[in-house]
Structures are given as structure tokens and as C-alpha cells.
């Protein structure tokens, strides 16, 4: 009985650690999102919907290329038992990032016009040189963020989120007032990652310095082979996931123009507040905790996962109802008369927000169980679903609003299936153990 009581105590502690870490991350991201929301009405009165459309397309292009920046070798950094071994994955991911950045610079230097014309994004040609800069700084932040999760430096991650958002918004406003449009938005986005990277580098300097002597070519090559499933399965999976996320922007840009992309971009920016505040932060805290538990104890992982799903669902109900009912009026009031259409889009996308919010952290369980193939299959299903729905939109000539409605409903169904499937997978691991 004493043993059972002790086991229950530690299981309870494990759950409490998740939500304690979640709270720390949520405070930082929450502060960042409050700053972002507070300053966005200023930005929407400085920049036009078309300017925001160019920013959205820029971020979509960077997002599609970014999974290749580390070949996903940054993901297992928190999983290794010893820092002296994990630092070799850190080094491997950094070398890959440097190589990709140089490769992108060379390719775009010679073929930027041809590549951008294929994807109907010619309005980005003048800003192509910002793309490799953004890839490098966002990749650097990704690697340092993974190391910070490993070290459980959640306060540092939290502070970096606040500083990133504040610095980005101030740069965007300053350059916008000077009339540097739309480049002010692009430079602001880049500056956020630069500031965040520098901050995390300072926070992790000592732990990296202490372990850098353990980096060897032999260990790097061993770990590259040991975690080869990540570039083999997780990389294409992440690429398909990001492509699926950015596909609506590219589709809307091709068929409806930069203005519609700008409206939709602001909608997704606002929706990212609850998703980032609890979905993303929960994912980091959840991943850190289940990585600590390990795949040998699926019962505990199942309990933690159930608890996370229930709490996220309850947290999502009020924001969902507010978005569903009041978005058009709220957007018109807060962001200005020019942005009423974004509010209509937000009302439609509220169903997407609800289901994405709950399912966001769960894919991390597949990393712990090293089931990268299944992660790939799930994202292929998502991409196929998107191809089908956008093909339907194109064939029967749906309007932008009708296309967005079809997208929201389809993705809601997908996220519900994703949550069910991952819970089922953990339950099967629990039964087989």
C-alpha cells in the first residue's frame, strides 16, 4: 500500500510539473500576445491589407523552407540522457542550418524570378534577400529553444517570447511611420527572431560552454545515424505539415489576391493568440514532461495526456464563443473599418481554433514513442484533405468566404480525428506494455 501511495504521489507530482511549466510558459507567451494585440491596432492603421498580405506570403515561404533548416535533428535534443551527448545533436543541427542558409542564398541569387513566378508570388521578388536571413535566425531560435526545453529553462523561454514580440512590434511601427512599407513588417518579423536567439544564447551560454568539449565528429555521425528517422520520416512529415498550414495563404494569394491574404493573415494572427498562449506552451511543457517519463511508462503518459486534453477543452470554450458570435464587430472596432472582413473570417475559423487548440500538444507523444512514420502518415492525410478541398473550391468557383468555411470545417474534422488517434495509440502502448 505504501508503494502504491508513493507511486500515486509521484504521478500527481508529474502532472503538477506539466501545469506549473505550462503556467510559466503561458505567462511569457500571454504577455507577448497581450503586447501584440495591444499594438496590432496601431499596425493596421499604418499598413494596408495588401502590406499584411505580403508579410503573410513571406512567412509562408519561410515556413515551407524552414523544416529543412535542421533536418529535424533539433527535435530529439531534449530526449537524450546526458548533456555531453545532446550537445552533439546541437552541433549537428547548427551545421545543417548553416549549409541550408548558404544553399538558399545561392539558389535565389540565380533563379529567384523563375521560382517566385511558378508560385505566383512575384510581389516578393524585391525582398528575396530577407528570406535566407529569416531562415537562419528562426532556425537558430529553434535549436536554442530545444536546448532550453532540455535544461527546463522555461522562464528564459517565457521571457524570450515577450522580448521577441515587443521588439518586433516596435520595429514594425517605427519603420511604418517612416514609410518603409511593407518592408517594415518583414524586418520586424526578422528582428523578433534575432532578439529571441540572442536572449536564449545568453541564457544557455554556460550550459553550452560546459559541454562543448564533448563534441566529436564520431559522436555527431553516430547520432546522425541513431536519429536518422527524424530526417527520414519527421522531416517530410513536418514539411507536409507546414505546407498544409501555409497552403491556404498560397491558394488565396493565387486566386483572390494580396488583399484577401491580408485579411486572412490578420485573422490567423489573432487566432494564434489562444493557440500560442496555451496550445504551443502546453506542447513544450507536455513534451518536456513525457520525455522525462519516457516511453517505458505509457500509463503515466496516457494519464497526463487525458488531463491536458480536458483542461485545454475547458479553456477553449469561452474564446470559441466570443470568436463565433462577436468577431466581425470586434475586428471592426479594434482594428479599424478596413478590417471588418477579417472579423467575418475569424467567426468562420472559430471551429478551427477550438479543435486545433486542443490537439496542438498531442503530436509530441509520437516523438517520445519514436513513431515518426505515423506522424508522417497523419500529415499526408491532412495534405490530401487540403488538396481535395482546394480542388473543389477551384472547380466549382467558390468565393473566398466559402473556401475559408470549407477549410475551417475540414480541418476541424481532421484535428478531432488526430486527437482520437493519438489517444488510441498511447492506450495501445499502455496495453502492450
pLDDT at position 134: 94
What would you measure as the largest C-alpha separation in the chain, in angstroms?
71
Q: Give residue-wise pLDDT tens across range 20-65.
A: 666 666 666 667 777 877 888 999 999 988 888 888 888 888 988 8
Q: Give residue-wise pLDDT tens across range 355-383.
A: 888 887 787 777 777 666 777 788 888 88
Question: Does residue 164 sit in helix, strand or coil?
Answer: helix
Range of the domain at 418: 2-432
Residue 17: pLDDT over 50: yes
Q: Give residue-wise pLDDT tens across range 278-318.
A: 656 666 677 777 777 766 777 787 877 888 888 788 877 88
The domain tally of the chain equals: 1
Q: Give residue-wise pLDDT tens across range 210-262.
A: 999 999 999 999 999 999 888 887 788 778 878 888 888 888 888 888 789 88
pLDDT at position 7: 37
CB 304 within 8 A of CB 17: no
Q: Give residue-wise pLDDT tens across range 139-173.
A: 999 999 999 988 888 888 888 888 888 889 999 99
Mean pLDDT value of segment 92-108:
94
Q: How far are the Cα atoms of 41, 53, 323, 329, 339 from residue 332, in angstroms, in the given order?
A: 10, 18, 13, 5, 6
Question: Does residue 389 sit in helix, strand or coil?
Answer: helix
Name residue, grid cell 517505458: 296
Measured CA to CA, the distance from residue 286 to residue 368 in angstroms comes to 11
Mean pLDDT value of segment 126-147:
92
**DSSP class of 338:** G
Residue 13: pLDDT over 70: no
In this prediction the pTM is 0.74
CB 116 within 8 A of CB 124: yes
Q: Give residue-wise pLDDT tens across range 112-124.
A: 888 777 666 677 7
Question: Which long-range contacts (C-beta less than 8 Å, at least 24 apart) are formed by 111-120?
Answer: 119/61, 119/250, 119/254, 120/250, 120/253, 120/254
Amino acid at each position: 500500500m505504501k508503494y502504491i501511495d508513493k507511486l500515486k504521489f509521484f504521478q500527481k507530482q508529474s502532472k503538477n510539473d506539466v501545469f506549473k511549466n505550462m503556467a510559466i510558459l503561458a505567462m511569457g507567451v500571454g504577455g507577448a500576445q497581450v503586447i501584440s494585440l495591444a499594438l496590432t491596432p496601431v499596425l493596421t492603421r499604418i499598413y494596408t491589407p495588401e502590406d499584411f498580405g505580403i508579410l503573410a506570403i513571406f512567412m509562408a515561404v519561410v515556413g515551407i523552407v524552414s523544416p529543412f533548416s535542421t533536418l529535424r535533428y533539433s527535435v530529439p535534443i531534449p530526449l537524450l540522457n546526458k548533456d555531453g551527448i545532446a550537445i552533439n545533436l546541437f552541433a549537428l543541427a547548427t551545421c545543417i542550418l548553416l549549409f541550408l542558409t548558404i544553399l538558399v542564398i545561392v539558389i535565389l541569387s540565380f533563379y529567384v524570378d523563375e521560382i517566385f513566378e511558378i508560385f505566383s508570388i512575384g510581389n516578393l521578388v524585391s525582398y528575396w534577400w530577407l528570406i535566407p536571413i529569416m531562415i537562419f535566425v528562426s532556425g537558430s531560435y529553434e535549436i536554442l529553444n530545444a536546448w532550453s526545453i532540455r535544461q527546463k529553462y522555461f522562464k528564459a523561454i517565457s521571457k524570450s517570447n515577450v522580448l521577441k514580440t515587443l521588439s518586433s512590434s516596435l520595429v514594425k511601427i517605427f519603420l511604418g511611420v517612416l514609410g518603409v512599407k511593407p518592408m517594415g513588417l518583414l524586418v520586424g518579423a526578422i528582428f523578433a527572431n534575432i532578439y529571441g536567439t540572442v536572449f536564449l544564447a545568453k541564457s544557455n551560454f554556460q550550459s553550452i560552454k560546459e559541454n562543448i568539449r564533448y563534441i566529436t565528429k564520431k559522436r555527431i555521425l553516430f547520432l546522425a545515424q541513431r536519429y536518422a528517422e527524424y530526417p527520414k520520416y519527421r522531416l517530410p512529415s513536418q514539411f507536409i505539415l507546414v505546407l498544409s498550414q501555409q497552403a491556404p495563404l498560397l491558394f488565396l494569394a493565387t486566386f483572390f489576391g494580396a488583399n484577401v491574404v491580408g485579411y486572412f493573415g490578420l485573422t490567423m494572427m489573432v487566432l494564434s493568440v489562444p493557440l500560442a498562449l496555451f496550445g504551443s506552451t502546453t506542447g513544450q511543457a507536455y513534451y518536456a514532461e513525457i520525455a522525462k517519463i519516457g516511453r517505458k511508462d505509457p500509463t503515466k503518459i496516457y494519464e497526463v495526456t487525458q488531463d491536458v486534453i480536458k483542461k485545454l477543452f475547458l479553456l477553449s470554450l469561452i474564446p470559441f464563443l466570443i470568436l463565433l458570435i462577436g468577431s466581425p464587430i470586434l475586428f471592426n472596432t479594434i482594428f479599424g473599418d478596413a478590417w471588418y472582413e477579417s472579423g467575418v473570417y475569424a467567426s468562420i475559423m472559430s471551429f478551427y481554433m477550438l479543435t486545433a487548440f486542443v490537439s496542438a500538444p498531442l503530436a509530441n507523444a509520437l516523438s517520445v514513442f519514436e513513431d515518426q512514420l505515423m506522424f508522417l502518415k497523419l500529415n499526408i492525410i491532412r495534405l490530401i484533405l487540403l488538396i481535395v478541398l482546394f480542388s473543389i473550391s477551384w472547380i466549382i468557383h467558390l468565393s473566398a468566404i466559402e473556401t475559408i468555411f470549407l477549410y475551417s470545417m475540414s480541418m476541424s474534422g481532421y484535428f478531432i480525428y488526430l486527437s482520437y488517434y493519438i489517444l488510441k495509440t498511447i492506450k495501445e502502448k499502455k496495453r502492450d506494455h
